[in-house]
């Protein structure tokens, strides 16, 4: 008699244990995705701030305790034989399983007769005092999805997220839920099926607990608690001032912390008299055109007190200073005297812009004092005339003001969503500061996307605000030859991409290129679709973000649909100027198709993993069913295998 093993044993054959080093590497590499997974599975009743902190805590304590193989739970050491999500490997699957288990435990109610789980208590670490943290707000679709998820049970929510975010099949989802201690995995999967929404929204900024906004906690209650400790704090401050303050004290430095060293080079960097100032016409004869030839401008260039405070806060920001830096940008003091770019009044603040060859530092303080001072950093090394054409000098009430490079002789505003509309002239003062422009990076709804159009002797280019000091340059064309957005076809392509730019903001982006890598005649005479690959390059070189778009015919230039996305990928870049992506599409006649397209190097495309189909060339259209899933692969003309963007 033939004995057949249970289904779960077939899907999850025993496998070697995972070492702590392997699990740690997977956790570090995929930390943002794991935190997003924990945040989505946690019950919304915890509140957004508690969910953010708990999600980070769950991921940070998901490593095995021992130095050998894992063994913290009955199933922890076994790695499912199913497909690895996002190419994470055994270490990632192990950590993901631990994250799901703890997130589900955090949603269990506390009972008197049951020993409480660690995840049911508020996390010890990390802790944030005085602030409430929550992800950036999304649109109406994300809000509706969050409401639907809140109505699901914990296991059903986990099933929905594992299937939508991790791209797991139903059997794989059941195996993961069983490993997490869910008794009725199939029931949870059935409940998740009833949620009719786009799972792709799970990757939006609404559910990104690593890109956060901050607001104060209950200020009245904090004030009441603070009065009890006021006398002790005052005594401590007085003692510190009497014992530890050198020279003329810390008063002239404003919001800076007390000095910690008297190194001569460091002291010279704090002297406003040593600031480098470039002549107004230096850029006309310089061998290179970047921030190093910007002249010093503004109506407060002679305010030695303001300049001293800006340098002192840069060297040692006090606890009350709001410090921010783009990814990969060091926030330490300058190694020598920096270059002064600007010092002047901007709206209701006094602003100083400094440059040290690697970074732009923006110091801003209110006109009536130093309380609420801010210090922002952005990496701008290896800038050229195109990327050094403007800087953000101020943000107020959803608007942004730019400081324009001296070689730019005309600035205009162009709305990306209306490619046929003419650009509007933008006035700038004698100090190079423009009038306010609506910042798309701060807008809640994508009803317009205003970019800065700059004219100089080399041509016309578009830059856009992505929430950083240096606006990002927008280009169009293949990776080996990107061009400025100058004609109508390029602007039309960007009109359908602009509303997707929030997915790359606040990541230190230097430039964003749109590349139409294929056009496809749609089945059943539904017109012609464009396939676009959008790549955001960073100032630090690494960390580029890529997403492939499917742009079906649209008279209203509706935003494209993101078919796939990747981080730290060479796809669509100068190193790997190729891409392959697919999408499940519904025709006007109500029929479903799997559509796929690759760049011109792709000579054949095949489907597997639940569907079959193949075709010669870089395009493929196969009849499918609603909800169908398939693996997409291709080959180049030389026989090299290429996988889809992921």
Mapped onto helix, strand or coil, the DSSP state of residue 266 is helix
How many percent of the chain have pLDDT more than 90?
55
User: What does R_g of the chain's alpha carbons equal in angstroms?
Assistant: 28
* Residue 226 resides in a domain: no
- Most trustworthy range by pLDDT among 145-159, 510-524, 625-639: 510-524
Q: Which residue is it, tokens 């943000």?
A: 395
Longest dimension (CA), the chain: 95
Measuring CA to CA, how many Å separate 532 from each of 502, 504, 518, 542, 594?
17, 16, 7, 22, 17
- Band the pLDDT of 448: cuts 50, 70, 90: very high
Q: What is the pLDDT of residue 16?
A: 41
Residues 556 and 423 in one domain: yes
What's CA 183's distance to the chain center, in Å? Answer: 36
Q: Which comes out higher in pLDDT, residue 563 or 193?
A: 563
Residues 182 and 209 in one domain: yes
In angstroms, rounded to a whole number, what is the distance separating the alpha carbons of residues 323 and 134?
18
Mapped onto helix, strand or coil, the DSSP state of residue 440 is helix
| Residue at a domain's end among 349, 383, 417 | 383
Asked if residues 212 and 133 have their Cβ atoms less than 8 Å apart, the reply is yes
Q: What is the pLDDT of residue 578?
A: 95
* Residue 518 resides in a domain: yes
Asked if residues 460 and 475 have their Cβ atoms less than 8 Å apart, the reply is no
**Residue 477 pLDDT exceeds 70:** yes
Report DSSP state, residue 201.
G
Stretch (H or E) spanning 60: helix 48-60
Number of independent structural domains in the chain: 4
In angstroms, rounded to a whole number, what is the distance separating the alpha carbons of residues 70 and 537?
38
Q: Measuring CA to CA, which residue among 474, 471, 643 is closest to residue 570?
A: 643
In this structure, the strands spanning 374-379 and 359-366 are antiparallel
In angstroms, rounded to a whole number, what is the distance separating the alpha carbons of residues 314 and 340?
13
**Residue 119 pLDDT exceeds 60:** yes
Q: What is the pLDDT of residue 346?
A: 96
Residues 191 and 295 in one domain: no
Q: Measuring CA to CA, which residue among 353, 392, 369, 327 is closest to residue 568?
A: 327
* Residue 446 resides in a domain: yes
Residues 361 and 410 in one domain: no
Residues 560 and 477 in one domain: yes
In angstroms, rounded to a whole number, what is the distance separating the alpha carbons of residues 570 and 575?
6
Taking the model in full, what pTM does it have?
Answer: 0.63
| pLDDT mean over 102-119 | 71
Q: Measuring CA to CA, which residue among 555, 559, 564 is closest to residue 535?
A: 564
Q: Which comes out higher in pLDDT, residue 250 or 57?
A: 57
| pLDDT mean over 128-155 | 77
Asked if residues 380 and 405 have their Cβ atoms less than 8 Å apart, the reply is no
Say which range, 147-151, 154-158, 163-167, 220-224, has the weakest mean pLDDT.
220-224
Residues 136 and 155 in one domain: yes
Mean per-residue pLDDT over the chain, rounded: 84
- Band the pLDDT of 2: cuts 50, 70, 90: very low
Q: Which comes out higher in pLDDT, residue 69 or 159?
A: 159
**Residue 14 pLDDT exceeds 50:** no
Mapped onto helix, strand or coil, the DSSP state of residue 184 is coil
| pLDDT mean over 582-597 | 96
Provide CB contacts within 8 A for 138, sequence distance 6+.
201, 204, 205, 206, 207
* Residue 597 resides in a domain: yes
Count of CB atoms within 10 A of residue 489's CB? 12
- Band the pLDDT of 129: cuts 50, 70, 90: confident
In this structure, the strands spanning 592-598 and 509-521 are unpaired
CA dihedral over 580, 582, 587, 593, signed as positive or negative? positive
- Band the pLDDT of 82: cuts 50, 70, 90: very low
Tell me the pLDDT tens digit for each residue of 169-191: 888 999 899 988 888 889 888 88
Q: What is the pLDDT of residue 389?
A: 97
Q: Measuring CA to CA, which residue among 266, 347, 268, 354 is closest to residue 310?
A: 354
Q: What is the pLDDT of residue 502?
A: 92
b/e map 448-460, b = 16+ CB within 10 Å: ebbbbbbebeeee
| Residue at a domain's end among 351, 383, 415 | 383
Token representation of residue 395: 């943000």
b/e map 598-631, b = 16+ CB within 10 Å: bbebbbbbbbeeebebeeeebbbbbebeeeeebe
Partner residues linked to 415 by β-bridges: 450
**Residue 451 pLDDT exceeds 80:** yes
Q: Measuring CA to CA, which residue among 55, 50, 198 is closest to residue 138?
A: 198
- Band the pLDDT of 133: cuts 50, 70, 90: confident
Residues 556 and 620 in one domain: no
Residues 54 and 176 in one domain: yes
Residues 67 and 111 in one domain: yes
* Residue 556 resides in a domain: yes
Residues 295 and 441 in one domain: no
Provide CB contacts within 8 A for 185, sequence distance 6+.
155, 159, 173, 174, 175, 177, 178
Token representation of residue 406: 């001296």
In angstroms, rounded to a whole number, what is the distance separating the alpha carbons of residues 50 and 130?
13
Say which range, 148-162, 232-246, 342-356, has the weakest mean pLDDT.
232-246
Mapped onto helix, strand or coil, the DSSP state of residue 635 is strand
Q: What is the pLDDT of residue 84?
A: 42
| Residue at a domain's end among 527, 558, 577 | 577
What's CA 590's distance to the chain center, in Å? Answer: 36
- Most trustworthy range by pLDDT among 19-28, 226-235, 546-555: 546-555
**Residue 249 pLDDT exceeds 60:** no
**Residue 315 pLDDT exceeds 60:** yes
Pseudo-torsion of CA 520, 522, 523, 525, nearest 10°? -130
Say which range, 67-71, 134-138, 545-549, 630-634, has the weakest mean pLDDT.
67-71
Report DSSP state, residue 405.
P
- Band the pLDDT of 145: cuts 50, 70, 90: confident
* Residue 239 resides in a domain: no
Q: Cis omega (within 30 of 0) on the bond before 505?
A: no
Residues 404 and 515 in one domain: yes
Tell me the pLDDT tens digit for each residue of 193-236: 877 666 667 878 778 888 777 767 655 555 555 565 565 555 56
- Band the pLDDT of 427: cuts 50, 70, 90: very high
**Residue 245 pLDDT exceeds 60:** no
Q: Measuring CA to CA, which residue among 289, 577, 282 is closest to residue 458?
A: 289
Q: Provide the residue range defining the domain that includes 172.
A: 7-215
Q: What is the pLDDT of residue 540?
A: 93
**Residue 11 pLDDT exceeds 90:** no
Residues 67 and 184 in one domain: yes
Provide CB contacts within 8 A for 227, sequence distance 6+.
none
Q: Which comes out higher in pLDDT, residue 630 or 232?
A: 630
**Residue 311 pLDDT exceeds 80:** yes
Q: What is the pLDDT of residue 511?
A: 97
**Residue 68 pLDDT exceeds 50:** no
**Residue 499 pLDDT exceeds 70:** yes
Identify each DSSP E strand in 173-244 by its residue range.
212-216
Count of CB atoms within 10 A of residue 332's CB? 10
- Most trustworthy range by pLDDT among 71-80, 138-147, 325-334: 325-334
> Where does 270-390 have alpha helices with state H?
304-315
Cα angle, residue 357 at apex, residues 356 and 362 outer, rounded to 5°: 45
* Residue 238 resides in a domain: no
HSE toward the beta carbon, residue 196, CA cutoff 13 A: 1
């Amino acid at each position: 008699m033939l004995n057949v093993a249970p289904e779960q044993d077939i899907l999850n054959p025993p496998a070697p244990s995972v070492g702590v080093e392997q699990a740690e590497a997977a956790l570090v590499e995929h930390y943002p995705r794991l935190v997003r997974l924990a945040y989505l599975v946690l019950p919304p009743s915890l509140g957004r701030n508690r969910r953010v902190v708990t999600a980070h805590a769950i991921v940070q304590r998901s490593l095995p305790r021992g130095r050998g193989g894992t063994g913290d739970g009955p199933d922890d050491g076994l790695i499912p034989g199913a497909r690895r999500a996002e190419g994470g490997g055994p270490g990632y699957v192990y950590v993901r399983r631990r994250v799901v288990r703890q997130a589900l435990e955090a949603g269990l109610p506390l009972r008197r007769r049951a020993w409480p789980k660690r995840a049911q208590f508020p996390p010890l670490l990390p802790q944030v005092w005085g602030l409430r943290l929550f992800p950036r707000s999304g649109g109406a679709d994300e809000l509706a999805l969050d409401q639907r998820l809140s109505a699901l049970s914990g296991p059903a929510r986990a099933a929905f997220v594992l299937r939508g975010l991790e791209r797991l099949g139903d059997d794989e989802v059941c195996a993961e839920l069983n490993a997490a201690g869910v008794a009725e995995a199939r029931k949870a999967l059935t409940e998740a099926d009833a949620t009719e929404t786009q799972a792709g929204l799970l990757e939006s900024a609404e559910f990104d607990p690593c890109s956060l906004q901050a607001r104060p906690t209950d200020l009245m209650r904090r004030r009441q608690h603070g009065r009890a400790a006021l006398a002790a704090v005052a005594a401590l401050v007085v003692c510190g001032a009497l014992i530890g303050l050198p020279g003329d004290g810390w008063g002239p430095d404003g919001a800076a912390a007390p000095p910690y060293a008297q190194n001569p080079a460091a002291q010279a960097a704090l002297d406003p008299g040593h600031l480098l100032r470039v002549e107004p016409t230096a850029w006309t004869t310089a061998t290179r055109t970047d921030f190093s030839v910007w002249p010093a401008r503004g109506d407060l260039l002679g305010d030695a007190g303001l300049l001293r405070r800006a340098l002192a806060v840069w060297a040692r920001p006090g606890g009350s200073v709001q410090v921010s830096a783009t990814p990969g940008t060091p926030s330490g003091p300058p190694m020598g005297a920096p270059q002064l770019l600007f010092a002047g009044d901007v709206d209701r603040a006094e602003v100083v812009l400094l440059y040290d060859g690697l970074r732009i530092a923006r110091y801003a303080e209110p006109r009536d004092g130093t309380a609420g001072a801010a210090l922002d950093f952005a990496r701008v090394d290896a800038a050229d005339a195109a990327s050094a054409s403007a800087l953000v000098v101020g943000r107020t009430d959803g608007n942004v003001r730019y400081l324009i490079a001296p070689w730019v002789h005309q600035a205009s505003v162009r709305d990306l969503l209306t490619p046929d509309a003419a650009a509007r002239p933008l006035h700038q003062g004698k100090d190079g500061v423009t009038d306010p422009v609506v910042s798309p990076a701060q807008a809640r709804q994508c009803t317009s996307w205003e970019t800065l159009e700059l004219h100089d002797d080399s041509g016309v280019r578009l830059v856009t605000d992505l929430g950083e000091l240096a606006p990002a340059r927008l280009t169009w064309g293949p990776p080996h030859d990107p061009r400025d957005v100058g004609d109508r076809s390029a602007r039309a392509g960007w009109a359908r991409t602009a509303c997707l730019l929030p997915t790359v903001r606040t990541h230190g982006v230097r430039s964003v290129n749109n590349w139409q890598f294929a056009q496809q005649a749609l089945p059943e005479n539904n017109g012609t679709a464009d396939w676009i690959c959008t790549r955001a390059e960073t100032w630090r070189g690494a960390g580029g973000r890529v997403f492939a778009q499917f742009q079906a015919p649209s008279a209203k230039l509706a935003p494209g649909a993101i078919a796939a996305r990747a981080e730290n990928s060479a796809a669509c870049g100068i190193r790997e100027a190729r891409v392959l992506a697919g999408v499940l599409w519904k025709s006007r006649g109500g029929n479903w198709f799997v559509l796929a397209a690759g760049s011109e190097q792709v000579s054949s495309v095949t489907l597997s993993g639940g569907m079959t189909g193949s075709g010669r060339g870089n395009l493929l259209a196969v009849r499918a069913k609603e909800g169908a899933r398939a693996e997409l692969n291709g080959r180049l003309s030389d026989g090299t295998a290429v996988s889809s963007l992921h």
